Amino acid sequence: MLQSNPFSILAELISPLAMQGFIIAMVVLIGLGTIIQMIQHKNLTYFLNNAKKAKQSATKELGLSEKTSIIAKTAVVDIGTTSELGFGKRRLAHVLGMYGTILFWVSSAVLVFCYTGVGKSNSEMWNTLWHAGAILTCLGGYWFWFFLRVDVSAEAHPWYRIIKADLFVLALLACATFGLAWSYTQYNGYVGLAYLFLILFIAANLILFGGVYWSKFAHMFYKPGAAIQKNLAEVDGSRDNLPPPADAPEQFGLGIKREEPKHY
């Protein structure tokens, strides 16, 4: 199963052009949802105003090479490894889910556009990456959902308590889970179950990409921008209009160091 292309088998019933059109539609939904959210919540206005204030209070003018270096370092370290979460289980779960999702989405597009249809070749590597991405997404996502969420691990709420903010992670997990179930049942010839999981897989994608405005999906675009702006502000001296750190030594005892920190 891991080396099979589920979309190639599906092409016997659904045109590859229809699959490609569905992926393009999902990308359009992401763009529309993000733009509408930015307009309604005025996120772009906030970032632009914050950058303008930082430029006015900066004590050092950064050159192009220095800015490029800071942006590259932020992308690799802060964004690529979610370093803001520190070292621990929460960070590992996010990394698993993040890279699993990237693999899942990219390999889906590659399989549909390059390896599905009459006369198209097969790629065991991309087939395996698609399944591996879905599995990693499930590992990181379910670990986070059942054990690492703030309201579960720190506030003692039950894992089945759902609020609007959970739309993104639940829809993402549904996509990966139903995608794997669809691939397994289709590969093994369970026709009825394969149709059921395919419908659920499509519905989960529609909810995930069509619900960008109401979910935390757009945060994937905001957080990298905020991290880059923060690191630029640290170097140019503007510090997001915050005062510089005090030179006096800490005199507050152990404080939060009395117990192991949890990075929420």
- What tens digit of pLDDT does each residue of 207-260 get? 999 988 888 777 777 777 778 888 877 777 777 666 666 666 656 556 656 666
Of 116-120, 129-133, 165-169, 253-257, which has the strongest mean pLDDT?
A: 129-133
Global pTM value: 0.80
Q: Which of 90, 64, 86 is nearest to 77 (CA)?
A: 86
User: Measured between alpha carbons, how far is 70 from 235 in angstroms, rounded to an integer?
Assistant: 9
Write the pLDDT tens digit of every residue in 139-149: 999 998 888 77
User: Measured between alpha carbons, how far is 16 from 149 in angstroms, rounded to an integer?
Assistant: 39
201: CB partners within 8 A, 6+ apart? 175, 178, 179, 181, 182
Q: Which of 86, 196, 184 is nearest to 138 (CA)?
A: 184
User: Measured between alpha carbons, how far is 125 from 107 in angstroms, rounded to an integer?
Assistant: 10
Average pLDDT, stretch 166-179?
93
Instruction: Indicate the domain borders of the chain.
Output: 6-240
Given a contact cutoff of 8 angstroms between Cβ atoms, the answer to whether 51 and 226 are in contact is: no
